[in-house]
Each structure stands twice: as C-alpha cells, then as structure tokens.
C-alpha cells in the first residue's frame, strides 16, 4: 500500500537510505495527517510523523520526529526552515 503498511509489517531495518531518503523498510513508514478548506480545496495544515527516524545506539529504541505546517489566510508557519 502507498501508506507504508507493508514496510511497517515487514519491519526491515537493513534498507540503506539513498540521498537521505529511505526507499523502503521501517524508516520509510510515515504517518501523514492533513486538513483542507472544504470551500476552496486549499490545504490548511499538515503533519508528518516519522516514528522510526533513527535508532538510539545504546538503548536500541527507535526515536521519532515530526514536521508540521499551517497555511490559513495570511498565516504561514512551518516546523521546517525555508
């Protein structure tokens, strides 16, 4: 499936990232949430969660990270720098 369910179920950790992007395995499993304005169809906010961003070498536990963005009226905010 396009939502990376297969990657999560397989649980592969041995996939090497290409140019900083994981083409498969756990690191490619993402949670995407978005909302849009029903009148215009324009996106209003979005969140991307990477639950398997990196593994702590000492505890072997996965560490996640997330990114978010809001665009409503004149407001434009994001967790990423331009």
Which residues pair with residue 76 across a beta bridge?
71
DSSP secondary structure string, 28-80?
G--EEEEEE-TTT--EEEEEEEEEEEEE-TTT--EEEEEEEEEEETTEEEESS
Domain count, the chain: 1
Give CA separation, 72 vs 6, 31, 46, 76, in Å: 34, 22, 12, 7
pTM of the model: 0.73
| Residues 21-76: tens digit of each pLDDT | 887 888 888 889 999 999 999 999 999 999 999 899 999 999 999 999 999 989 99
Indicate which CATH number applies to the domain containing 48. Answer: 3.30.540.10
The answer to whether 3 is a known ligand-binding residue is yes
Instruction: Please say whether the dihedral angle defined by the alpha carbons of residues 21, 23, 24 and 29, taken in this order, is positive or negative.
Output: positive
Which domain covers residue 65, as residue numbers?
5-78
């Amino acid at each position: 499936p396009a939502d990376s369910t297969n990657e999560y179920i397989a649980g592969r950790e041995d996939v090497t990232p290409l140019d900083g992007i994981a083409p498969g395995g756990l690191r490619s499993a993402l949670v995407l949430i978005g909302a849009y304005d029903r009148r215009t169809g324009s996106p209003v906010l979005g969140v991307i969660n990477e639950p398997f961003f990196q593994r702590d070498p000492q505890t072997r536990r996965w560490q996640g990270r997330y990114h978010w963005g809001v665009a409503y009226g004149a407001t434009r905010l994001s967790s990423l720098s331009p």
